[in-house]
Amino acid sequence: MKLLCRLLVLAALLAALCCGAAAAPAQTGETVRTAILFTHDMHSRLLPTREEDGGEYGGSARLKTAIDRQRESCPDALLVDGGDFSMGTLFQSVYPTAALELRMLGALGYDAATFGNHEYDYRAAGFAAMLSAAADSGDPLPALVEANFLPPAAGEEGDGTDARAVREAFTACGVADYVLIEKGEVLFAVFGLMGQESADYAPMSGMVLHDPADTARRVVEEATAAALEQYGREPVVVCLSHSGTKDGKGEDYELARAVDGIDVIISAHSHTTLTEPIRVGDTLIVSAGEYGRNLGVLELTVAGDGTVSLADYTLVPIDETLAEDPAAAALVEEYQEVVEEDYLSAFGLEFDQVLVDNPYPFDTVKEVSATQHESTLGDLLADAYLWAAEQAEGTRADVAVTAAGIIRDTVPVGEVTVSDAFNILPLGIGADGMTGYPLVSVYLTGRDLRSVLEVDASVQPLMPEAQLFCAGVEYRFNPHRMIFNRVAEARLRLPDGAAAPIEDDRLYRVVTGLYCGQMLGEVESRSFGLLSVTPRDARGEPIDMDRLEDYIVRDSQGREVKEWDAVVGYLSAMGGEMDGRYAQPDGRKEVSHSWNPVDLLMNPNRYTLAVVGLVAAIAAAVALLIWRRKRPRLGRTIKRGTGRGYRPYRG
């Protein structure tokens, strides 16, 4: 019996050794080459996006072709996505019921993916519903990893129905801190991470952000230990980080500095395109750009001792030179039909319905916020708000406001479809739970209206997404003037084109999007109390900002008027041709760069007066000091020489 037991133990040891050897050829001294294929910030771009010069980029069908080509040379490549795979086109409209974007990642063969801040745009309940819909579809899905942006645990602050729904959805979809994936002879440990700024951009998520660096250290340790236990070797550690890299630095750069053991960071959120990896210690940081412009290809060598080295790095453009994969193209077409049936039918619209023919080049998204200027794209959107609110409520508002930060696409040259119009303003949901921020109608005093214009003039250099575009007003500002007093002149622009003064204590009806309306309520805190904007009701009473949804603009059937639908309606009303007024700016916003003292000091507010007074006082004090030092001192005696004594100065 003892002999039999010894033989069984010996056989088990031999089997374990054989399995370990089979599972870890890279640690026998052999160097293995592998690849990581990656994307991020896809934002529902299942269809190609038109370039301003007439070309195209992105699209799931062309992306699938590029993926397949890479796998011809590297069949065991790892394919991952860094989050924000949703929110940006009409496909998001059925996000909580159909989960089209996540299912598309599965269809394209993604091994793993994490979540970005926009996955929470439908809030916790919508996020949970999306995950459940994906699981219920029965379609293949990537492994989902998220380590530090999690629902409150049972009994913790914030726990409730929505948190429980997310926890259950995590279980249904197998969401984990990390996943071990064996690709050929290489073992990967892939984990997901949310950055601080990304979490701040999802204030209604209901999730709890745990410290990214602390979480990363824990996960690297746990994943490495699990890899050693299960596979007998250390993994290549890949972090799908929705944190971002800006100008070579940023949250992911700091993460790499703070945490040892991460081999690769796929850096998402900031829409960065890195043509070369950023190396921080032993960590490589890579980014491929937004909207599926490129497929990132990072080739690595893994030495027998586990050392990971860079072999090659390429960004493969996804453009019209690539043929569309037929199966992926057919799936996208099927998804379009789902959108039309489940969402657009409620608006009486079709996905590719042509609204207008446009001969004019509008600003790109980057150009909209790059400099302080009047943009025909911003003008068009603000005009659409005014038009739509008047159509819905029967009366014209005085002013409309929109912001660069919510503009996600431009008006293409040529035929403009419903899909194109939606892509310009796709963000958020309304009180009805349907995609798209609705318009809201509130009142501002003339004084507060001036403060809104001052946000555009003074805050944009610090926060480009805060650049505003308005209808119903015309104003001029100078960036060289005193901050928070840069608007030199402002007037109402009446429907007939005439101008009228803005009266400080008069109420003006203002139309904007729900998100912009919420931000107007934050102006005072964000300007350190130097500016104040108080949205009010028709009686002039301040509005509780938690109840801003009570002021949503609704049509005659009680439906919310969405920002994107306002643009669709406005373009449709043009009769097939883009209105010629958008061929160039119409002068409603003038940016002067004059150093003329008259221009710099005209119409000063209390801040400018205070600073001018302070400067004048300092100048007077300096002049007085200089005068006192140089003026003759009466009664002073001067020693003329030895033995001559002193005599009064007579000069």
Whole-number pLDDT of residue 634: 52
The answer, yes or no, to whether residue 281 has pLDDT greater than 60, is: yes
639 burial (CB, 10 Å; 0-12 / 13-18 / 19+) is exposed
The answer, yes or no, to whether residue 3 has pLDDT greater than 60, is: no
**How far is the C-alpha of 590 from the C-alpha of 473, rounded, in Å?**
11
Q: Which of 55, 190, 46 is nearest to 112 (CA)?
A: 190
**How far is the C-alpha of 257 from the C-alpha of 475, rounded, in Å?**
47
pLDDT in tens, 610-641: 666 666 677 777 777 777 777 665 555 444 44
Strand partners, 435: 429
Higher pLDDT among residues 526 and 396, named by residue: 396
Whole-number pLDDT of residue 83: 98
CB 430 within 8 A of CB 514: yes
The mean pLDDT of the chain is 90
CB 321 within 8 A of CB 294: no
CA distance from start to end of the chain: 128
User: In terms of DSSP H, where are the helices of 108-155?
Assistant: 123-137
pLDDT in tens, 109-136: 999 999 999 999 999 999 999 999 999 9
3-state secondary structure 38-59: EECCCCCCCCCEECCCCCEECC
**How far is the C-alpha of 47 from the C-alpha of 202, rounded, in Å?**
26
**What are 47's two structure tokens?**
């269809």
Whole-number pLDDT of residue 519: 84
The strands making up 487-493's β-sheet, listed across from edge to edge, are 499-501, 487-493, 473-477, 589-591
pLDDT in tens, 517-532: 988 777 776 667 778 8
Whole-number pLDDT of residue 4: 35
- How far, in Å, are 64, 349, 395, 499, 554 from residue 338 at the CA level? 21, 13, 36, 48, 26
The answer, yes or no, to whether residue 1 has pLDDT greater than 70, is: no
User: Rounded to 5 degrees, what are φ and ψ at 477?
Assistant: -140, 160
Q: Which of 400, 369, 374 is nearest to 387 (CA)?
A: 400
Please, what are the domains in the chain? 26-317 (3.60.21.10), 350-600 (3.90.780.10), 610-651 (no CATH)
Strand partners, 493: 499
**What are 53's two structure tokens?**
């010069």
Higher pLDDT among residues 54 and 282, named by residue: 282
The answer, yes or no, to whether residue 650 has pLDDT greater than 80, is: no
Higher pLDDT among residues 647 and 594, named by residue: 594
Q: Read off the pLDDT of each residue in 453-467 and give the average, rounded to a whole number.
A: 89
Q: Which of 349, 350, 379 is nearest to 586 (CA)?
A: 379
Whole-number pLDDT of residue 29: 59
User: Rounded to 5 degrees, what are φ and ψ at 266?
Assistant: -85, 110
Angle CA 159–161–165, to nearest 5: 100
- How far, in Å, are 43, 366, 459 from residue 464 at the CA level? 21, 10, 8
Q: Which residues contact 216 (CB under 8 A, 6 or more apart)?
A: 147, 148, 191, 193, 239, 255, 258, 259, 262
367 burial (CB, 10 Å; 0-12 / 13-18 / 19+) is middle
Whole-number pLDDT of residue 609: 67
Strand partners, 441: 511
Whole-number pLDDT of residue 25: 43
pLDDT in tens, 21-79: 333 444 445 899 999 999 999 999 999 998 877 789 999 999 999 999 999 999 999 99
Which 3 state secondary structure label does DSSP give 551? helix
Whole-number pLDDT of residue 601: 85
The least confident of 187-196, 285-294, 480-489, 569-578 is: 480-489
Higher pLDDT among residues 306 and 221, named by residue: 221
**How far is the C-alpha of 584 from the C-alpha of 216, rounded, in Å?**
50
Whole-number pLDDT of residue 17: 33
**What are 32's two structure tokens?**
């293995």
Query: What percent of the chain has a predicted confidence (pLDDT) above 90?
Result: 79
pLDDT in tens, 338-382: 999 999 999 999 999 999 999 999 999 999 989 999 999 999 999
Whole-number pLDDT of residue 616: 67
Residue 108 pLDDT grade (very low, low, confident, very high; cuts 50, 70, 90) = very high
